[in-house]
Structure formats: C-alpha cells, structure tokens
C-alpha cells in the first residue's frame, strides 16, 4: 500500500467564475495525480450567508464563512485561495501570509504596483518561514504551452526575434451589457489590459524565459456608459434602468522590448466579435517558430527552419502524448484536455512545491513584474509619449 498523503485544509474566498474553476481543481487533483498533500475543501467564504452556503454545497466545500478574517484564523485551514476582485487581493494575501497560511492568489496580483510590491515583500518574508505563495496564471499549465516553453529552452527556435501575443474576446460587444465589477477601475484595476492582457504578458515571459523591459501602449474605451447591475449570479448579470460610467479600458495594444533583445506586440480586447477566448501567441526565432491558439488548446504549431526548405513548414503537434507535460495523468493519446485541467495542474504544482519546501512559480515577485508592465502600458497610453500624429489626418 502506498503511503497516505498528508492532509492540508484549504479555504477559498470568492465563489463566482474563478471560484468554480478553482473548486473543480481542488476536488480533482488528488484523484488524478499522486500528490504529496491531499487537499481538504474546508471552507468557502462569501459576503452573503445564503449564497455562500449554497455555493459551498454546490462546489463541494465542507462549510461556509462570511468573514475572510475569521476564515484565515481557523486552525483547520493551512492554505488560502483568493478568487476575489483585485481590490481585495493585497489585504487578504498579506494577512493570510502573516497568519502562517500558504496563499494562491488569482491574477493580476493586485490593482496597483504599490499593492503588488507589498504583497511580494510579504511573500518573501513568509518564504523564509516556510510559507509559500503563488499567483494563479493558469495558462502556464496548458500542456501545449508548457511544451512550447521546453522547445524554446532546448534551443529549438534558436535566438528569439519576435513575440506576437493576442487575447481576443467578445463578451461585452453589446453596449447594453451591464456594468459588472470588471468594468469598474476601483475593483478591477484595469479592463482588458489587466484582466486578459496580464495573461499574455506572463505567458510571453514564461515561454521565452525573457522579461519585458519597455513598452509603448495605446488603450481605448469604446462604450463609456452601461446599465448598472440589477442582480447577478455567477457569470450572468441583469441590467437595471439606471446607467453608470465605464472606468476601464475595453482594448489595449502595445509594443514591447525583451531583455533578450527580442521585440513583441500585444493586443488585448473584449471587442473582437466572434472570438470567445482566442488567446494566441507566436514566437519567431532564428532556427524556427511556434504558434498557439487556446481555441485549439491541445495543438501546437511548430516550424523547424533548419530543415530542407522543399519539405519544411509549420506542422501540427497534437499535445496529448503521455510524454507531454501533465498529460500522463489523464487520458490516452488523442483524447484532449480542457480549460479546467489547467487549474488542476496549477494546484498540483502548488501542492508539490509546498511539500518539497520550495517556492512555487509563478511567484508573487513574478506577479509584481507583470503588474509593472501593466502600469507601464497605462502610463504610456495616458501620456501618448511616443505618439506621432499624421499631418492632415485630424487628431
């Protein structure tokens, strides 16, 4: 009989879209992977007692709390999972780390650089005491993207020259879509830039192993007023007759330079009609290229530029072999994985790192780096510091 894994109590704060995805991961991880720590879903926390209790029952949590400070003080909880809007991340994460709890925090790490700095400093102090923390950039755990990182690290693309990254959605194209919290700067920090742009910033740095050192940005809010929210449940929201001001960007574009010398172009928008979750990245190097689109998440396109040009070209790799990252725990080759599996892989890696006594990745310091890029894009877009007007074309 294999040795029984030690138990770790988990408390999760927030239970909407991300809470449901994280709950799926906590329910599943020890039933698929041989993890050194078995998560116990001890408590879910939400402000509304009735809704929190109903969510706990539905998502598989043993109990419900309405005060996060009370939850993180519980002796039966050793890990706190933060799935709340960005304006609460810093306070909760810092308090949880101070209470000796490991922390998983949704992205972006915070709403401001100052908050992210405080979180990274708290994480560093906690790490010295054996308390671990991780920011939840789940797309790192998509097998095809983990394979992309390996191919680049192994030198298959040679010197990296260009990175192109896009995150295209269309969920707020309708001007009557309600003014949910993600469209409120005080709660969300920023719009498409921070919500989905943060993912492609982290992903570009992750797969290339390089950091962004400078940017030139442009942002736009296409719909400046929307109906206020009358009621909401999970991903659904009903509009009221009253209207409010949208205070975040609807789309963001920026160019970037990496510390490796590579150039990058980035686009994040919620106004790409017909695109549901088209997160794409293409990396071009001296010896080859690769490309990925999350809407075909089990595939990676790869071109080996050292091959005979008569037969060379992009080839489709179906990333479902047992030798591919994470895949051996799941299904036979050709039986693809889905969005939810990235979260299962995420908590697997966190549990392993905690058990091995090392800091997991991406760390809060990595989250801070992404936050600095977001802030730099906003500052560039606001200042229009490198904007060159075209003579005779208006303003």
* pLDDT value at 232 more than 70: no
- Calculate the CA dihedral of residues 94, 97, 102, 108 and round it to 10 degrees: 10
Q: Given this model, what pLDDT does residue 5 score?
A: 80
Q: Among residues 99, 62, 63, 58, which one has the least CA distance to residue 80?
A: 99
Q: How far is CA 320 from the centre of its chain?
A: 22
pLDDT digits (tens, 9 = 90+) for 95-104: 999 999 999 9
Cβ neighbours of residue 263 closer than 8 Å, sequence gap 6 or more: 161, 162, 163, 255, 256, 257
Pull the structure tokens for residue 3. Answer: 């040795």
Rounded to an integer, the average pLDDT of 268-274 is 97
Q: Phi-psi category of 33—alpha, beta or left, where left has phi over 0 and alpha has psi -120 to 50?
A: beta
Taking the model in full, what pTM does it have?
Answer: 0.94
Q: What mean pLDDT is reported for the chain?
A: 95
Q: Given this model, what pLDDT does residue 238 score?
A: 76
Rounded to an integer, the average pLDDT of 208-214 is 96
Q: Given this model, what pLDDT does residue 331 score?
A: 97
* pLDDT value at 272 more than 80: yes
Q: Among residues 120, 106, 101, 126, which one has the least CA distance to residue 43?
A: 101
Q: How far is CA 395 from the centre of its chain?
A: 36
d(CA 98, CA 96): 5
Q: Given this model, what pLDDT does residue 15 score?
A: 95
Looking up tokens 């970037």, which residue turns up?
256
pLDDT digits (tens, 9 = 90+) for 126-150: 999 999 999 999 999 999 999 999 9
Return the exposure string of 366-393: e unless at least 16 CB atoms fall within 10 Å of the residue's CB, then b.
Answer: bbbbbbbbbbbbbebbeeeeeeeeeeee
Q: Given this model, what pLDDT does residue 263 score?
A: 97
d(CA 251, CA 2): 51
pLDDT digits (tens, 9 = 90+) for 51-73: 999 999 999 999 999 999 999 99
Q: Given this model, what pLDDT does residue 1 score?
A: 37
pLDDT digits (tens, 9 = 90+) for 342-386: 999 999 999 999 999 999 999 999 999 999 999 999 999 998 866
Burial class (CB in 10 A: 0-12, 13-18, 19+), 28: middle
Q: Among residues 137, 198, 182, which one has the least CA distance to residue 372?
A: 198
Highest mean pLDDT among 3-12, 156-165, 221-230, 373-382: 156-165
Looking up tokens 């983990």, which residue turns up?
146
Q: How many CA atoms lie within 13 A of 159 on its CB side?
A: 7
Rounded to an integer, the average pLDDT of 220-248 is 84
Cβ neighbours of residue 388 closer than 8 Å, sequence gap 6 or more: none
Pull the structure tokens for residue 65. Answer: 């709390």
Out of 112-121, 237-246, 247-256, 267-276, pick the least confident.
237-246
Q: Given this model, what pLDDT does residue 371 score?
A: 96
Rounded to an integer, the average pLDDT of 187-201 is 96
**Any idea what the Cα angle at residue 153 is, between residues 147 and 159, rounded to 5°?**
120
Q: Phi-psi category of 64—alpha, beta or left, where left has phi over 0 and alpha has psi -120 to 50?
A: beta
pLDDT digits (tens, 9 = 90+) for 282-320: 999 999 999 999 999 999 999 999 999 999 999 999 999
- In the chain, where do the E strands start and end? 6-13, 37-45, 63-65, 79-82, 102-106, 133-136, 160-168, 212-220, 225-233, 236-245, 251-258, 263-269, 278-285, 288-293, 299-304, 315-318
User: In the chain, what percentage of residues exceed pLDDT 90?
Assistant: 92
Rounded to an integer, the average pLDDT of 323-338 is 97
Domains defined for the chain, CATH in brackets: 6-138 (3.40.50.720), 144-296+298-337 (3.30.360.10)
């Amino acid at each position: 009989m294999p040795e029984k894994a030690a138990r770790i109590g988990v408390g999760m704060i927030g239970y909407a879209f991300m809470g449901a995805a994280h709950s799926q991961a906590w329910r599943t991880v020890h039933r698929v992977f041989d993890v050194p720590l078995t998560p116990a879903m001890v408590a879910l926390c939400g402000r509304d007692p009735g809704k929190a209790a109903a969510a706990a029952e539905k998502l598989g949590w043993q109990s419900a709390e309405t005060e996060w400070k009370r939850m993180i003080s519980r002796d039966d909880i050793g890990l706190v999972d933060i799935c709340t809007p960005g304006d609460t991340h810093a306070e909760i994460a810092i308090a949880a780390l101070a209470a000796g709890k490991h922390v998983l925090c949704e992205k972006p790490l915070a709403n401001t650089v100052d908050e992210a700095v405080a979180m990274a400093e708290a994480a560093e102090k906690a790490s010295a005491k054996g308390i671990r923390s991780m920011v939840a950039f789940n797309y790192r755990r998509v097998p095809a993207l983990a394979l992309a990182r390996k191919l680049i690290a192994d030198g298959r693309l040679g010197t990296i020259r260009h990175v192109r990254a896009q995150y295209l959605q269309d969920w707020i194209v309708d001007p009557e879509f309600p003014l949910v919290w993600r469209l409120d700067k005080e709660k969300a920090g920023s719009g498409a830039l921070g919500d989905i742009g943060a993912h492609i910033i982290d992903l570009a740095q992750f797969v290339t192993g390089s950091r962004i050192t400078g940017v030139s940005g442009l942002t736009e809010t296409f719909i400046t007023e929307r109906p206020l929210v009358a009621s909401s449940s999970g991903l659904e929201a009903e509009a009221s007759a009253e209207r409010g001001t949208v205070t975040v960007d609807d789309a963001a574009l920026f160019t970037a330079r990496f510390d490796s010398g590579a150039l990058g172009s980035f686009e994040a928008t919620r106004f790409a009609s017909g695109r549901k979750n088209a997160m794409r990245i293409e990396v071009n190097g001296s010896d080859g290229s690769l490309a990925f689109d999350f809407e075909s998440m089990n595939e990676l396109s790869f071109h080996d530029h050292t091959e005979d040009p008569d037969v060379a070209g992009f080839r489709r790799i179906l990333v479902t072999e047992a030798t591919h990252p994470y895949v051996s725990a799941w299904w036979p080759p050709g039986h693809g994985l889905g969005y939810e599996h990235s979260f299962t892989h995420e908590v697997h890696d966190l549990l392993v790192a905690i058990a091995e006594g090392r800091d997991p990745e991406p760390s809060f310091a990595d989250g801070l780096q992404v936050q600095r890029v977001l802030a730099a894009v906003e500052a560039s877009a606001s200042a229009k510091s490198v904007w060159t007007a075209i003579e005779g074309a208006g303003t």
